[in-house]
A and B are shown apart, each in its own frame.
Chain A
Amino acid sequence: MTAIQVVAVVLVGLAGTAVVLTRDIVRQALLTSLFGFALTALFLVLQAPDVALSEIVVGTIGFPLVLAVAIARSRG
């Protein structure tokens, strides 16, 4: 494992833990986006650009967007 791979794995771990430990759901949705970005970086350094391309759109933009809309809607 190279240094950059270790950094990417640690980032994913930190971001994932942060998502779980956050109590406010708006912040949680934003952190989910950050978690998706960390995963994208991990896939990229593990030489899986195909998966990274999907993850950056779905995990960083799509899923948090749907979450944000659902939260906004449920709060009126």
Chain B
Amino acid sequence: MRALRLGLFLAGAAGLAGLLAWAFVDLPAFGEGRSVYASVVDRVALPERKAPNAVTTVVFDVRGLDTLLEEAILFAAAAGVAMLLRDAHEGETAARRDAVRSDAVRALGMLLAPFALVLGLYTIAHGHLTPGGGFQGGVVVAAAVVLVYVAGRGDAFDRIAPTSAWDAVEGAGVGAFVVVGLCGLTAGGQYLENVFPLGVRGALAAAGTIPVLSWSAGIAVAAAFVLLFREFLDQLRDEES
């Protein structure tokens, strides 16, 4: 049995090694080579869309439909986790465990939370200008909410992370993305076409739909992660009641 398993593994590993070697042979050298796609993005991002950050331009403009589907995946994941883990008897659940023994952790956690929140919102708002965008900023906002929990303030965490409110925020974020996409259709273009005013390059309100989509993605991602963390952390309550 062991010999059979080893043989199966060796055959699979040899096949994988062969395929990988075949794939690597045709790769351009490290840091060299330029795809056609990269040239297109360079031509589109700054000159046509007035967005200095090419990555966010790709995510919310060039392949906006992919991003919408990615959000749908995250939405489905958050909904699935809530369906599996959410307690039907909300409100009568037991007290949270408070295992934080260090005052330094408590103070630092509460001190860092507002800074993390502002950093997250900044990252969403400046997505079309500097590295960042809706996804990155959204997860930082969710991390700020979790910091409150890490600081041992389970009571405050319950107050700022009520599932009813974040459920609505999650739906609103994903819904806003879909509606902005429909604006392209009503303007006579294609779905998710960049039909909003492009403005001046480098401005906060520029690049058309890119910052609007970045905000809706940021809101949806933040809510999805807050809900995911909330459902998982709710599993740590005491079981007495």
Interchain CB contact under 8 A, A54 and B135: yes
Report the separation of the CA atoms of residues A69 and B97 in the bound assembly, to the nearest whole angstrom. Answer: 12
Interchain CB contact under 8 A, B232 and A57: no
Interface status of B93 (Cβ within 8 A of chain A): no
Interface status of A10 (Cβ within 8 A of chain B): no
Interchain CB contact under 8 A, A61 and B143: yes
Report the separation of the CA atoms of residues A58 and B138 in the bound assembly, to the nearest whole angstrom. Answer: 11
Number of A residues near B (Cβ < 8 Å) is 16
Report the separation of the CA atoms of residues A57 and B132 in the bound assembly, to the nearest whole angstrom. Answer: 12
Report the separation of the CA atoms of residues A73 and B146 in the bound assembly, to the nearest whole angstrom. Answer: 18
- Which of A65, A72, A73 has the most C-beta atoms of chain B within 10 angstroms of its own C-beta? A65
Q: Which residues of B contact A65 (CB under 8 A)?
A: 146, 229, 232
Interchain CB contact under 8 A, B228 and A66: yes
Please pick, from A52, A57, A69, the residue contacting B139 in the complex, using a CB distance under 8 A.
Answer: A57
Within 208-241 of B, Cβ neighbours of A (below 8 Å) are at 225, 228-229, 232-233, 235-236
Quote the shortest CB–CB distance from A70 to chain B (angstroms): 7
Q: Which residues of B contact A62 (CB under 8 A)?
A: 139, 142-143, 225, 229
Interchain CB contact under 8 A, A50 and B136: yes
Interface status of A53 (Cβ within 8 A of chain B): yes
Number of B residues near A (Cβ < 8 Å) is 23
Please pick, from B139, B235, B236, the residue contacting A58 in the complex, using a CB distance under 8 A.
Answer: B139
Interchain CB contact under 8 A, A50 and B143: no
Quote the shortest CB–CB distance from A32 to chain B (angstroms): 15
Q: Which residues of A contact B229 (CB under 8 A)?
A: 62, 65-66
Interchain CB contact under 8 A, A57 and B140: yes
Residues of B within 8 A of A (CB): 30-31, 53, 55-56, 123, 131-133, 135-136, 139-140, 142-143, 146, 225, 228-229, 232-233, 235-236
Residues of A within 8 A of B (CB): 1, 49-50, 52-54, 57-58, 61-62, 65-66, 69-70, 72-73
